Amino acid sequence: MASRRTWLRGALGGGALLMLAGCGFQLRQAPTMPFERIQLQGFHKRSPLQEELQKALGDVATVVEAPSQAQVVLESIEDTRERSVVATTAAGQVRELTLRVRFVFRLSTPAGRELMPPRELLLSRDLSYNETNALAKQQEEAQLYRAMQSDIVQQVLRRLSAARL
């Protein structure tokens, strides 16, 4: 009886694997870009978004310094982080915050021909706040900003992969 159950579990597990393989499932891979060399410009010095974007692009294209070496230029028009108070207590203490990351960019050739008009990516997250846990909430805020930045980088990569040269 026990061997029959073991055989049945194995058959069901094997069937599930075959169905998963047959549906076309595959792990997420880096998108393929229609260009080989890109220049990033307009970012603030030591911009964390630029650093993460360079790292992500390094897997699929070469990031160059001079526009003359690039096939395309990704220009940062706006890269801001905002923090606004949404709710306060009767005593005037902050109760809830909204964090926003806004990134506006455009893609063009080094000669100036626009390949992608300005696009805006805006992400926001709500954060409850408690004065007694201020240090923990600062760390949570920094973690939320990093997560939103990573999400923006992934969205930019998907948009760049769809660009037409």
**Is residue 14 domain-resident?**
no
DSSP string, 9-36: HHHHHHHHHHHHHHTT-----PPPPS-S
**Is residue 12 domain-resident?**
no
Residue 43 DSSP code: P
Mean pLDDT, residues 31-36? 88
The residue range of the domain holding 72 is: 31-161
| 115 alpha carbon, distance to own chain's centre | 21
Each residue's pLDDT tens digit, 41-58: 999 988 999 999 999 998
SS3 121: strand
8 A C-beta contact, residue 105 and residue 75? yes
Mean pLDDT, residues 10-25? 65
**Is residue 16 domain-resident?**
no
Mean pLDDT, residues 137-160? 96
**Is residue 52 domain-resident?**
yes
pLDDT range class, residue 14, cuts 50, 70, 90: low
**Is residue 1 domain-resident?**
no
Give the CATH number, domain containing residue 143: 3.30.160.150
Which is more confident, 120 or 25?
120
**Is residue 57 domain-resident?**
yes
